[in-house]
Structure 1
């Protein structure tokens, strides 16, 4: 017997989806029955099922999987309550432009026993809400109801086609239980829809006039600067941006980055910020904003020079899903970063153009070398000299992260090159980029959004994605704050890691609470009454009674865990944690006490 559920699973498999991250409920009898039919008939299921005890962990895992593989993942949840359980991960896959197909069942409409799948359990009346997809609609690229098994496959294909076209993102399909239970003819169930006939939209190019205008400006500028954040979500753009920067001595600055956009050691990579003051804006006479959501924060005193030309290259240059976003720009280009960078490189590689810009390039190069040297020197000073925080006992974050980077490099076969960092350090984001110093395209994952709780589930999904895409990571390491750790639903996440044999290292930067709300208060009331109050007084602190976070992972998933409170303990504990993950193949969590908020 074949049902709508049969066709949904088959279509997902035909489309190349290998994993579904699921949280089952009373709307899924047809799916569970179909999976067993597949096991009986062929010994395995068409799509591998990853059981997730919490929906947010499921969607975060799917995001990590999709980010590593570059292919969409599927998530299956339970009616309205399961949709709500996806929580802030919905925001993350939207803002992170991650293609994920979410399917949710819906309560049966009928209460008639003559209809297969009709209401037969008391929660189904409570779960029958007026507009279930409204819960997530504003975050989705596409929402649709599957109303018949006969066209379920085509609905899935359309959803995936939209999810994988720029701007990429999540899609949401849903169906009443009667629909998922609908029996369909075997000829329909066995029909194959070719994914080749449902391609994503090709990335768009710069128009000829726009290309000429940008090239001319690049050749004439005294100090051109590219500001980017997300171009590296497509790893193919990283060498292209590096090449263009080298060809024309263009500085590269990352603003609120979510991916490696240029190798840390590139001589023209000259700064990063998460909303602070960008002094380089006072000098740049040409700005290219490449796949960046927040190029600067105006209220921090950031403003381009009045005579600066500003060109925007982005898959959504107007940021149409933001309530407000604007920069004064001379040119807005809706273009794919990989395509646009390739065009620019081809346009400036000729000897005639290089000769035209030769006099400027040497001056630009010298200036970039000095800026780069000063920037790196300031980082190395903090890393090498300031090992102790002001309390005289705990390590500083720069010292901790630099120690971690060096230990991971020493203990991994690739000397740290084939390590995936899953980063949700939030208030310590700038320091993670400064001291982890990633080189390899795709070697850092972030949610791309601002909802906390992504990192733990994403690490599990990234591990599975690494297997599917044959990445063969030496190590996956997650960097979180203590607040972020709790948001990640660690009991579910470490159970999931243990169940699926996906060991990863977790470093908890434990400052005793939520630093970000306190920083937000200080941004508005720098000298207010709360400026001298402790985290506990401000109700953003977790206090000394906070749990040993490492032991949460031990209890939930058989992990190895250790708390570090003194700088002299740090090195040995980090070494042992890395060894446990590499040799014992189980999760390790180091709860690092840093200076309290």
Structure 2
């Protein structure tokens, strides 16, 4: 036994390399491929050595979403450990979300043993045969920045360091490492992981010609416009963007926003839809946005000059993509704004033109807000509106509350009626695979245990989030948060897409979309049963505020809460 415990395996060195690389958590669903990993964790526990803390996740989608949320709040990649090909597949769309959102995550999966009886770690169960596949990496290859299989334990520190370096280098994203039991069982020398020489790539800046051209175009523009979706993933961007826009009176639209990119109450903020102002724009500055407009619906005038600044301006992982622009700059938005602001300080400005534009935009901003406010009026004895629900929520959160928004068809309503001005307090998934919200809230709470986390979701997204797993993890690891469900009894996004393509079609005529939950689940009770959450279902408008306050009180007391708010249903189809 003493000789067994004195062994130093690839798995031991692997875990230590993750610890030395700054990984704090392993969101894990272990299997038959992880015995040496589990033994390594147990040895460290017995010897009181620090290693990343294991967070047991009953479903891999929750594990991946938790690492996603943690990285969004902290900027640091965490580990996700899953079981062979089946665990890799169970990560599902959560990997798509991390990839599209440019979020760093370190994924590790075992591989089925590559020997039948010849080596230590060889196959011991039927599963070891059935989980053998020709291309396990192919499951994730379209979504990860890097994938590799451990060949030997002698260079495991280098492999881990490279994986983390790539994950944290722009464009950031998930990486995928695998290893079979035989290689994890290999005896290796005890070596300290090198801590230097593995920093992420330095941020790229604009070329001098680009600074000059952009400055000239913005200064001379009559109707400049900034469009952004996720520039605020670096909170330091926000004050620099405010500085630029105030200097030249440039309005900002947050299109499909997933962060606080610009203070929502600023008079130069023109909302979350480009339709109102893109037609008049003559110079458009696009900062960190994958889809600044949808050409088939609304696009700039032919004479407009568009400039793209992004660490991946050509969206190289998207097979078909086109947003015609004057120039594309592969640069970090923060660095680019610093350069532009310095250059504009010495530029000759038309103060009268800038002041006139400021007054015009401020007036439009005010009219927008007044129109939004009118929609918050809740009629008595009518179904709860999402505007009213969001207005009530606004009264129970503060500016430091971390808001996670996966309400999909009500996302714009949330943006309009729950305006955020403090960078780093609002998050969207950045992708299109539903179910991110619950796991992300767990990750956020672990990353910022002193912050209140509020998770907003539609009922369809709540189903996809695997709430039984989410709330089991939440209670076990003392990561409480409030979930508010915008329950419209179905998947409204699918209905919207049908109506767009067939505005007078049979589906609309017959109210037949096959997306509604005509026998709805009691969502809050799922969380109560699985994780002891405070559970409440609300059907009357006058009960909303009090219910939200009770939910917040439960969270303050260390218990997650789910407030299921029933709003107008999307369909009455019953077949």
TM-score using structure 2 length: 0.96
Please report the RMSD computed on the Cα atoms of aligned residues, expressed in angstroms: 1.2
Tell me which residue corresponds to 1:163: 167
Q: Does 1:35 align with 2:41?
A: yes
Matched residue, 1:142: 146
8 Å contact 1:455–1:480 — kept in the other structure? yes
DSSP-derived class of the 2:271 partner: strand
Partner of 2:291: 294
Q: Does 1:98 align with 2:103?
A: yes
Out of 552, 557, 564, the residue aligned to residue 591 of structure 1 is 564
1:109 aligned to 2:114? yes
Q: Please say if residues 35 and 45 of structure 1, whose CA atoms lie closer than 8 Å, have aligned partners that are also in contact.
A: no
* Residue 513 of structure 2: aligned partner: 538
Shift of residue 447, structure 1, vs aligned partner: 1.1
In the aligned structure 1, how far is the partner of 2:231 from the partner of 2:277?
Answer: 20
Give 1:73 deviation, angstroms. 0.8
Q: Could you say what secondary structure the match of 2:360 adopts?
A: helix
1:193 has 2:194 as partner: yes
Name the CA distance, whole Å, in 2 between partners of 1:260 and 1:2. 46
> Which of 451, 457, 462 is the aligned partner of 1:485?
462
TM superposition shift of 1:183? 1.4
Figure out how many residues of one structure are paired with residues of the other and give that number: 564
2:227–2:252 Cα contact (<8 Å) kept: yes
Match of 1:420 in 2: 402
**Contact residue 394 and residue 567 of structure 1 kept, 8 A:** yes
1:69-108 equivalent positions in 2, closer than 5 A: 69-108=74-113
Is 1:281 the equivalent of 2:270? no
Residue number in structure 1 paired with 2:321: 325
- Say whether 1:125 aligns with 2:138: no
Tell me the SS of whatever aligns to 2:456: strand
1:69, distance to aligned residue in structure 2 (A) = 0.7
Secondary structure at the aligned position of 1:287 is classed as strand
Per-residue Cα deviation, 1:396-433 (whole angstroms, up to 9, x for no partner): 1011101111122xxxxxxx011000110011111111
Task: Provide the C-alpha distance between the structure 1 equivalents of 2:550 and 2:149, rounded to a whole number of angstroms.
Answer: 51
Match of residue 342 from structure 1: 338
Distance of 2:218 and 2:432 partners within structure 1: 34
SS in 1 for 2:479: coil
Q: Does the CA contact (< 8 Å) of 1:146 and 1:174 recur in 2?
A: yes
3-state SS in 2 of match to 1:485: helix
Query: What secondary structure does 1:362 align onto?
Result: helix
- 1-side partners of 2:74 and 2:226: how far apart? 27
Q: Secondary structure at the match of 2:563?
A: strand
Q: Give the whole-Å Cα distance in 2 for the aligned partners of 1:426 and 1:214.
A: 34
Conserved 8 A contact 1:393-1:565: no
User: Are 1:432 and 2:418 an aligned pair?
Assistant: no
Deviations 1:47-77, CA, capped at 9 Å, x for gaps = 1111111000000000011111111111111
Please report how far the alpha carbon of residue 585 of structure 1 lies from its aligned counterpart in structure 2 after TM superposition: 1.0
SS at 1:339 equivalent: helix
3-state secondary structure, aligned to 1:2:
coil
Q: Distance in 2 between matches of 1:366 and 1:572?
A: 40
In structure 1, the residue corresponding to 2:41 is in which secondary structure? helix
Q: Deviations over 1:417-464 (max 9, x none)?
A: 110001100111111111110111111111100000100011001000
The corresponding residue for 2:435 is 453
Q: Specify the alignment match of 1:411 in structure 2.
A: none
Segments of 5+ residues of structure 2 without an aligned counterpart are 1-6, 571-575
Looking at structure 2, the residues matched to 357 and 48 of structure 1 have their Cα atoms a distance apart, in angstroms, of 58
Q: Residue in 2 aligned with 1:177?
A: 181
Partner of 1:26: 32
Question: Residues 521-553 of structure 1, C-alpha deviation per residue, up to 9 Å, x if partnerless?
Answer: 00100110111343xx3210111x212100000
- 3-state DSSP of counterpart to 1:270: coil
Distance 1:160 1:575 in 2: 41
The answer on whether the counterparts of 1:507 and 1:591 sit within 8 Å (CA) in structure 2 is: yes
Q: What's the CA shift for 1:181?
A: 1.2
Counterparts of 1:560-575 in structure 2, within 5 Å, are: 560-575=534-549
Asked if 1:265 corresponds to 2:265, the answer is: yes
Distance 1:593 1:495 in 2: 24
Could you tell me how far 1:263 is from its partner in structure 2? Answer: 0.9
Aligned to 2:573: none
Write the deviation string for residues 370-409 of structure 1: whole angstroms up to 9, x where unpaired.
22111111111112x2x149xx43211011101111122x
Give the match for residue 501 of structure 1.
478
Whole-angstrom CA distance in 2 between matches of 1:418 and 1:554: 27
Displacement after TM superposition at 1:193 (Å): 1.5
1:388–1:396 CA contact under 8 A, matched in 2: no
**SS in structure 1 opposite 2:241?**
helix
Distance 1:312 1:451 in 2: 26
In structure 1, what is the equivalent of residue 453 of structure 2? 476
Task: State the match for 1:413 in structure 2.
Answer: none
Q: Select the residue among 136, 146, 151 that pairs with 2:155.
A: 151
Q: Distance in 2 between matches of 1:376 and 1:298?
A: 27
Q: Aligned pair 1:375/2:349, yes or no?
A: no
Taking the aligned partners of 2:542 and 2:384, their CA distance within structure 1 comes to 9
Q: Flag the 1:111–1:459 CA change in 2: closer, same or farther, 3 A.
A: same
Specify the alignment match of 1:412 in structure 2. Answer: none
Residues in 2 aligned to 1:550 and 1:166: alpha-carbon distance in whole angstroms: 39
Gaps of 5+ in 1: 409-415
Structure 1 ranges of 4+ moved more than 2 A: none
CA–CA distance in structure 1, aligned partners of residues 271 and 189 of structure 2: 60
Q: Do the aligned residues in 2 keep the contact of 1:79 with 1:104 (CA within 8 Å)? A: yes
Pair 1:401 & 2:376 matched: no
Paired residues of 2:19 and 2:50 also in contact (CA < 8 A): no
Shift of 1:324: 1.4
The residue aligned with 1:207 is: 207
Tell me the TM-score normalised to structure 1 length. Answer: 0.93
1:557 corresponds to: 531
Measure, in 2, the Cα distance between the counterparts of 1:58 and 1:211. 42
Determine the C-alpha separation between the residues in 2 that align with 1:11 and 1:585.
33
Shift of the alpha carbon at 1:45?
Answer: 4.1
Please give the residue correspondences for 1:60-71 in structure 2 after superposition, counting only pairs within 5 Å. 60-71=65-76
